[in-house]
Amino acid sequence: MSELPKVALVTGGSRGIGRACAERLAKDGFEVFLTYVSRPEEADKVVAAIEAAGGKAKAFKLDASDRDAVSAFFANEIKDKASLEVLVNNAGITKDGLIIRMKDEDWDRVIQVNLTGAFACLREASKIMVKQRQGRIVNIASVVGQMGNAGQANYVAAKAGLIGLTKSAARELAGRGITVNAVTPGFIQTDMTASLPEAIVSKMLESIPLGRLGGSEDIAAAVSFLAGPGAGYVTGQVLAVNGGMYM
């Protein structure tokens, strides 16, 4: 019987931080499964880049907030077909607005994707990892989940909840050799920040002791550490990668 491939699953892996994590984990030797909701062409580019570098990857369309779809994905694509070594819960959206103006649907959608979706993937991954008696789960939270941010009550609540989920899951799963940690990125150079006015970026930089925005590769390096052999005794932790803006 052939050995099952050692897979790292990255949700929201078609661009930004997710893409960087997918490419880094492929470099680390994992076969990468990455999910996307829209823009299949972007997901295909990530797969092509990983394969061009000598790695293996597959892309799957999956809305993490659809719990039935998540269950079906794990049952059809991973269970008994792969050794799920790593889950990176990265899928997330923003629908910003002040609390007094926030629409119910904007609150609900952000919570559904950023928190409930992460829970759904964590739950299904846990079922597989418990039987394997090993696994690494890394949740991508945010610095604003630790410090708050005006105009992002829904996003902040979801990311703060993800930190709490991380700590509880770490306690539940430790006995089966599964670690669960969170990474909290600060202000990261992405398509979104690239389009911000210079005055806003300057204001952001004032709050960062290192004096620069982070890169997606900075987050990917932290994920690589938590997924690697050097982090076997690290669980329930929140690793801040934010240039010192929140200590």
- Structure confidence by residue, pLDDT tens digits, 132-144: 999 999 999 999 9
Asked if 13 and 22 count as a contact pair (C-beta separation under 8 A), the reply is yes
User: 36, 155, 233, 246: which one is catalytic?
Assistant: 155
Residue 202: is it exposed, middle or buried by C-beta count within 10 angstroms (0-12/13-18/19+)?
Answer: exposed
What is the rounded CA–CA span in Å between residue 98 and residue 226?
35
Strand order in the sheet with 57-61: 57-61, 31-36, 6-10, 83-89, 135-140, 178-185, 238-241
Ranges under pLDDT 70 in the chain: 1-2, 192
Structure confidence at residue 218 (pLDDT): 98
Q: Write down the CATH superfamily of domain 6-241.
A: NAD(P)-binding Rossmann-like Domain (3.40.50.720)
pLDDT score at 199: 86
Query: Residue 201: its pLDDT value, please?
Result: 83
Question: Domain map of the chain by residue range?
Answer: 6-241
Residues 75-98 pLDDT 10s: 999 999 999 999 999 999 999 999
Q: State residue 1's pLDDT score.
A: 42
- For position 198, what pLDDT does the model report? 85
Question: pLDDT per residue over 13-33, tens digit each?
Answer: 999 999 999 999 999 999 999
Query: Quick check: is 36 catalytic?
Result: no
119, β-bridge pairs: none
Backbone angles phi, psi at 183, to 5 degrees: -115, 130
DSSP label at 195? T
Rounded CA-CA distance 57/221 in Å is 19
